[in-house]
Amino acid sequence: MNEEENKKVSIKETWKIIKKIWPYAKKHKKYLIIQGIVMLIGLVINVIMPLLTAKQILNLNKGLLEKLISVSLLILILEVTININRYITRKLTANIHMKILNDLQRDVTEETLKLDIKEIDGNSSGVFIDRLTKDARSLSDIINMIMFYVLRIFADIGIIGAIFIVNKIMFIYCVVALFFIFWIERINANIWFKWSKKNRELDEKNSGLIGELVRGIRDIKVLNSTKDFLKKVMDKIENANKEQLNLNVKQAKYNFISGSMQDIAEFLFIVLGVILIKTNNLTIDSLIVIYMYQSRMYSLLYSLTDFNEQLKKFNLSASRVFEIVDGKFKKEKFGKKHLDKIEGNFEFKNVTFSYDNKKKILRDMSFKVNANETVAFVGKSGSGKTTVFNLIDRLYKTDKGKITIDNIDINELDKDSIRDNISIITQAPYIFNFTIKENLKITKEDVTDEEIIEACKIAQLHNFIMTLPKKYDTIVGEGGVTLSGGQRQRLAIARALLKKTEIILFDEATSALDNETQKAIQKAINNMKGEYTILIIAHRLSTVIDSDRILLIDDGKVIDEGTHNELLKKNKLYKELYEQELE
């Protein structure tokens, strides 16, 4: 594909993306109209000013030096008017940019939350962080950017008009010189775009790595692996910086060529001016006027170049943002059938599943759980217990087999039917860098303070919270860093209890609790028995001995089931697991 075809594709893609962004801008058309009027006024002033001042300055040569102060005053008034216009324009631009950015980031964040969990597993966090922040911010400014550059370019065209009025030959020379310099600048911009795309990919990987460094800094310290991790981080950062250096060197070369051409053009400008003066085709004062305006011609050049670069940046940011919105990354898919409330029955029928399409985690697994039954899943690490919970909550889709809720295939149900009726309390819950109350309200925005306190009492967390200076308004840090492991689990339990769902899944949810708190939580769970369908994964079998049934899982299959006493009598593996715990 040649350069002209690339240009057409770029313009075509730009137009397609502008049409996608326009609905965001259209919501704020009142501000856009006001901004357009203000910018149009600025355009008129910028176009008229050089033409008017050029004529006034030329008149000074005709013995009207007494008008010098008047001309200067006119220029001052026009410049002040332009500055006022720019101030109003920038204020309106900032306001529109913020509104479009808010709407765009909301939608991109919403689409990110719809991503298939395998996409999250398979990419670093930096892939999504940069798209949600840098790229969305760049994309949101396109409407303002186009208006700004178009008006700026038209304003600078007024300078060309002024030169044309003063001398036609100098006008032709300036236009030709401008064309050659613009050609060099365009090559430079194309090189920037090619390398910038590669640099963005490296940057997002580094963003993810640095994010992991910050989140995992405690583990790095206690493992005393600072040197090794620093080397790994610096290798990647140096690689990205090396690519940036290559880009800067290439740009410096073309900047040198462009600058040299501009210097040569200015020298030839003086030579041509001298020739025209000697041949009586130009006066000295006219040459001075043209020379004054020549720098503004280069402003036009750089406006065109910057506009071209900004469009390339915009296209790059847009392609990355709309990869999330339009579906390069796979989204979760749910059915259309909706259930306001479920009874709590579900069944696995010959379910097979793998995370990477290679190693099978579940192998032809089958079992059934009845509504309001408390069932425990036990087995060795890696046997597939947590995977069962991930499939029940539809975080992943089965490779083979069927999962039903109330005798309906889970793939036929919409997202709310599943996740509004199921709560999972994980072994390592993520606690957000909010207050305790805000963390709890994530589950249910309209929850009352009384409900929050009641849930925290059941989770054995209320008394601890009341010892904090700001109590429920205490900020807990990223990942709940200011809380102990047990406190984070209790907060997660309270958060899940506020949902009041029919199915509650406890995935090693008491593993970080001390024995006394675990007994209290176990008592709370026992108090819920018979009212909810409760599933419990536990390594400590002592926490599940009161379950209605216990399913023993090994190598991705349910190999036995029964009560605690029944399994002790009939199953050797279960007996070994229990005896190991007693030891």
Weakest-pLDDT range from 157-171, 212-226, 483-497, 504-518 = 212-226
Q: Map residue 583 onto helix, strand or coil.
A: coil
Biggest CA pair distance of the chain: 119
d(CA 541, CA 266): 86
Reported as a pLDDT band with limits 50, 70 and 90, residue 210 is low
Q: Give the pairing of strands 346-353 and 362-369.
A: antiparallel
Weakest-pLDDT range from 86-90, 225-229, 408-412, 466-470 = 225-229
The whole-number pLDDT of residue 1 equals: 40
Mean pLDDT of 431-446: 83
Least Cα distance to 163 among 35, 276, 289 occurs for 289
Residues in a beta bridge with 475: 435
Element spanning 391, H or E: helix 385-392
Q: Map residue 382 onto helix, strand or coil.
A: coil
Cα 79 to chain centroid, rounded: 41
Give the pair of three-digit tokens for residue 316: 């790059």
Mean pLDDT of 211-234: 64
Mean pLDDT of 175-179: 77
For the chain, what percent of residues have pLDDT higher than 70?
Answer: 69
Reported as a pLDDT band with limits 50, 70 and 90, residue 479 is confident
The whole-number pLDDT of residue 334 equals: 85
The whole-number pLDDT of residue 395 equals: 85
Reported as a pLDDT band with limits 50, 70 and 90, residue 62 is low
Decide if 364 contacts 557 (C-beta within 8 A): yes
The whole-number pLDDT of residue 71 equals: 61
**Which amino acid, one-letter code, is at 348?**
F
Mean pLDDT of 157-176: 75
The whole-number pLDDT of residue 494 equals: 86
Q: Map residue 444 onto helix, strand or coil.
A: coil
Domains defined along the chain, listed by start: 13-326 (1.20.1560.10), 346-582 (3.40.50.300)
d(CA 450, CA 436): 14
Element spanning 374, H or E: strand 374-378
Of the segments 67-71, 180-184, 365-369, which one has the largest average pLDDT value? 365-369
Q: Give the pairing of strands 374-378 and 549-554.
A: parallel
Q: Does the pLDDT value for residue 196 go beyond 80?
A: no
Give the pair of three-digit tokens for residue 233: 């981080």
Mean pLDDT of 235-246: 71
Of the segments 248-252, 265-269, 405-409, which one has the largest average pLDDT value? 405-409
Decide if 296 contacts 155 (C-beta within 8 A): no
Decide if 353 contacts 174 (C-beta within 8 A): no
The whole-number pLDDT of residue 211 equals: 65
Decide if 483 contacts 513 (C-beta within 8 A): no
d(CA 139, CA 315): 8
The whole-number pLDDT of residue 301 equals: 66
Q: Does the pLDDT value for residue 255 go beyond 80?
A: no
The whole-number pLDDT of residue 82 equals: 72
Residue 385 CB-density burial (10 A; 0-12 exposed, 13-18 middle, 19+ buried): buried
Q: Does the pLDDT value for residue 203 go beyond 70?
A: no
Weakest-pLDDT range from 182-191, 336-345, 559-568 = 182-191
Q: Does the pLDDT value for residue 383 go beyond 60?
A: yes
Mean pLDDT of 402-412: 90
If you search the block for the tokens 């990205």, which residue do you land on? 240
Residue 358 CB-density burial (10 A; 0-12 exposed, 13-18 middle, 19+ buried): exposed
Reported as a pLDDT band with limits 50, 70 and 90, residue 574 is confident
The whole-number pLDDT of residue 15 equals: 72
For the chain, what percent of residues have pLDDT higher than 90?
Answer: 2
**Which amino acid, one-letter code, is at 154?**
F
pLDDT of 69-121, one tens digit each?
A: 666 676 677 777 777 877 777 777 777 777 777 777 777 777 777 777 777 76
Q: Does the pLDDT value for residue 415 go beyond 80?
A: yes
d(CA 298, CA 65): 30
Each as own residue / partner, the long-range contacts of residues 155-159 (CB below 8 Å, 24 or more positions apart, any chain) are: 155/42, 155/43, 155/46, 155/47, 156/46, 156/296, 156/297, 156/299, 156/300, 156/303, 157/47, 157/300, 158/46, 158/47, 158/48, 158/49, 158/50, 158/51, 159/50, 159/293, 159/296, 159/297, 159/299, 159/300
Reported as a pLDDT band with limits 50, 70 and 90, residue 200 is low
Each as own residue / partner, the long-range contacts of residues 359-367 (CB below 8 Å, 24 or more positions apart, any chain) are: 360/556, 361/387, 361/556, 362/387, 362/388, 362/391, 362/556, 362/557, 363/555, 363/556, 363/557, 364/400, 364/401, 364/557, 365/401, 365/553, 365/556, 365/557, 365/558, 366/401, 366/558, 367/551, 367/558, 367/561
**Which amino acid, one-letter code, is at 236?**
K
The whole-number pLDDT of residue 204 equals: 63
Q: Does the pLDDT value for residue 492 go beyond 70?
A: yes
Q: Does the pLDDT value for residue 2 go beyond 50?
A: no
Q: Give the pairing of strands 400-405 and 374-378.
A: unpaired
Residues in a beta bridge with 558: 553
Output the average pLDDT for the chain. Answer: 75
Q: Which residue has the higher pLDDT, 74 or 458?
A: 458
Mean pLDDT of 314-336: 75
Q: Does the pLDDT value for residue 297 go beyond 80?
A: no
d(CA 38, CA 36): 6
The whole-number pLDDT of residue 7 equals: 43
Give the pair of three-digit tokens for residue 155: 């304003």
Give the pair of three-digit tokens for residue 172: 């032709």
Helix residue spans in 123-225 (DSSP H): 125-130, 136-140, 142-166, 168-215, 217-222
The whole-number pLDDT of residue 105 equals: 74
The whole-number pLDDT of residue 231 equals: 73
